[in-house]
């Protein structure tokens, strides 16, 4: 901030000062093709009564549907990550202090919200962050009753079991992301790497990052984590532009370094370049201009590919899980900032754009992008999950700021033709 103070002040005075703004706003084009066939269902969630915001309102009065009200406030929100069960019911984690909810369940038919709680030592509900679903339908999430642990929810019985790593092993930590690999093991972020849980033996194994948590350039904390179809684990050190790889068979830990964003380097003056090269406070909130910023990622369980969402680089990293070969795939627009990546059964890559109220689908075979607009504004969605239920594909996102859960389906051309025939 200090280094760029004059430039920032000049820009803000021009763009947001007392005179006419230099910004030119162009409305987005209306959706066409597949994007126009999207059907959204949103479920309102209660506002967190323990947020300390002094309101007795049960639901957010600015729910994002009136776009003229602008970005909603995240004060009082409940959902962080989300998922869906075999019946179509939605689940979400709550990462803010409250007395009632660790995991929330939304009845897809009635919209009723049920709270499930893990007790914390101080009487509050233990907070949770990431969530994933295994092949048997169980949900796995991180939970912090006092030491950040792994939780399992059986949706049939609503029983929650908490598993804690041994004291000589790192707890779960960082911006915890979870994934189930192709062998059925659970992978989760740890501050200094990743942990793997064997649900049958109920045992943990840990994998330490080669680039240390504390290093001369800043904080190498883990952000996203994923497991590939061969049972190998992957994790992102967002500030270091580094992807870690842990092989549970050999115990080998290797890493993939993402290339710098060259266009950003080319735009810098020599004195700026010198300043940033000596910058030693890197974190996922303080990147340098050429940072890719690998955040949360997903593997293709039907191919040897890891897809990483690069928030600062506005790109995807495509990593061959066998060879480590890496390709950077730029987003159609440099303002698009991916947060979490998931891959469907047809190799399509889905991601949520946390700053622009959109989700995207990338077809790597056709090299085609499709952008879907959320029906509400000011969402700041941080997670995306996919499911095939009853022959229908669902995309699930927690609508973070407006305290909602959302699911999207896409009508086929045949379904659209049938609807048109009925109307005619």
Q: pLDDT tens digit string along 87-145?
A: 999 999 999 889 999 999 999 999 999 999 999 989 899 999 999 999 999 999 999 99
Pairing, β 315-320 against β 326-330: antiparallel
> CA-based Rg of the chain, rounded to a whole angstrom?
22
Please give the Cα distance from 331 to 335 (Å, whole number).
9
What whole-number distance in Å separates Cα of residue 88 and Cα of residue 161? 23
* Calpha distance 275→141 (Å, rounded): 40
Length of the chain: 424
3-state secondary structure of 36: helix
The β-bridge partners of 178 are: 188
Residue 171: closest CA among 152, 153, 197: 197
Q: How many CA atoms lie within 13 Å of 105's alpha carbon, on the beta-carbon side? A: 18
pLDDT more than 90, % of the chain: 86
b/e map of 99-126 (b: 16 or more CB within 10 Å)? ebbbbbbbebeeeebebbbbebeeebbb
DSSP state of 402: T
Neighbours of 391 (CB within 10 A): 5
Q: Nearest CA to 125 among 105, 150, 104, 153?
A: 104
Give residue-wise pLDDT tens across range 327-384: 999 999 999 999 999 999 999 999 999 989 999 999 999 999 999 999 999 899 999 9
Task: Tell me whether strands 113-116 and 127-133 are parallel, antiparallel or unpaired.
Answer: unpaired
Cβ(336)–Cβ(353) below 8 Å? yes
Listed residue (334, 338, 288) closest to 318, CA to CA: 338
In this predicted structure, the answer to whether residue 219 has a pLDDT above a threshold of 90 is yes
Q: What are phi and psi of 413, to 5 degrees?
A: -60, -40
Full DSSP string of 285-348: TB--TT---EEEEEEETTTTEEEEEETTTTEEEEEETTT--EEEEE-SSTT--EEEEEE-TTS-
pLDDT at 1: 87
Strand partners, 82: 92
How much is the average pLDDT of 21-41? 93
- Token pair listed for 232: 């190998």
> Cα separation of 198 and 134, whole Å?
12
Give the position of tokens 């790109």.
315
Residue 361: DSSP 8-state: E
Q: Taking residues 164-171, what's their average pLDDT?
A: 96
pLDDT for 109 equals 96
Binned at pLDDT 50, 70 and 90, residue 55 comes out as: low
Bin 76: left if φ > 0, else alpha if -120 < ψ < 50, else beta: left
Say which DSSP state 208 is in: E
**3-class secondary structure, 25:** coil
């Amino acid at each position: 901030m200090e280094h760029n103070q004059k430039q920032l002040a000049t820009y803000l005075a021009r763009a947001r000062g007392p005179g006419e703004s230099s910004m030119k706003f162009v409305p987005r084009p209306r959706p066409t093709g597949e994007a126009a066939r999207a059907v959204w269902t949103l479920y309102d969630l209660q506002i967190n009564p323990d947020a300390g915001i002094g309101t007795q309102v049960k639901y957010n009065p600015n729910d994002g549907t009136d776009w003229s009200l602008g970005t909603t406030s995240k004060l009082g929100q409940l959902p962080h990550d989300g998922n869906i069960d075999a019946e179509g019911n939605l689940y979400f984690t709550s990462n803010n202090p409250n007395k009632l909810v660790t995991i929330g369940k939304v009845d897809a038919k009635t919209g009723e919200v049920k709270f499930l709680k893990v007790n914390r030592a101080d009487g509050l509900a233990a907070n949770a962050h990431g969530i994933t679903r295994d092949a048997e339908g169980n949900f796995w999430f991180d939970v912090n009753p006092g030491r950040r642990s792994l939780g399992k929810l059986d949706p049939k019985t609503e029983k929650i079991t908490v598993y804690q790593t041994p004291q000589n092993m790192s707890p779960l930590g960082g911006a915890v992301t979870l994934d189930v690999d192709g062998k059925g093991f659970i992978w989760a972020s740890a501050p200094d790497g990743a942990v793997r849980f064997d649900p049958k033996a109920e045992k943990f194994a840990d994998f330490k990052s080669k680039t240390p948590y504390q290093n001369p350039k800043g904080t190498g904390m883990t952000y996203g984590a994923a497991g590939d179809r061969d049972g190998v684990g992957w994790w992102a050190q967002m500030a270091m532009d580094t992807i870690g790889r842990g092989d549970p068979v050999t115990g080998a830990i290797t890493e993939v370094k993402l290339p710098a964003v060259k266009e950003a380097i080319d735009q810098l003056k020599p004195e700026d370049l010198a300043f940033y090269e000596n910058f030693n406070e890197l974190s996922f909130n303080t990147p340098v201009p050429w940072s890719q910023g690998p955040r949360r990622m997903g593997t293709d369980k039907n191919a040897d590919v890891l897809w990483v969402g690069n928030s600062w680089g506005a790109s995807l990293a495509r990593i061959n899980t066998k060879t480590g070969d890496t390709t950077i795939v730029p987003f159609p627009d440099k303002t698009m900032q991916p947060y979490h990546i998931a891959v469907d059964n047809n190799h399509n890559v889905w991601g949520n754009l946390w700053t622009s109220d959109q989700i995207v689908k990338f077809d790597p075979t056709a090299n085609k992008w499709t952008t879907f607009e959320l029906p509400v504004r000011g969402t700041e969605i941080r997670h995306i999950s996919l499911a095939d239920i009853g022959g229908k594909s669902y995309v699930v996102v927690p609508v973070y700021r407006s305290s909602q859960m959302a699911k999207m389906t896409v009508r086929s051309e045949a379904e659209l033709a049938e609807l048109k025939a009925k109307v005619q």
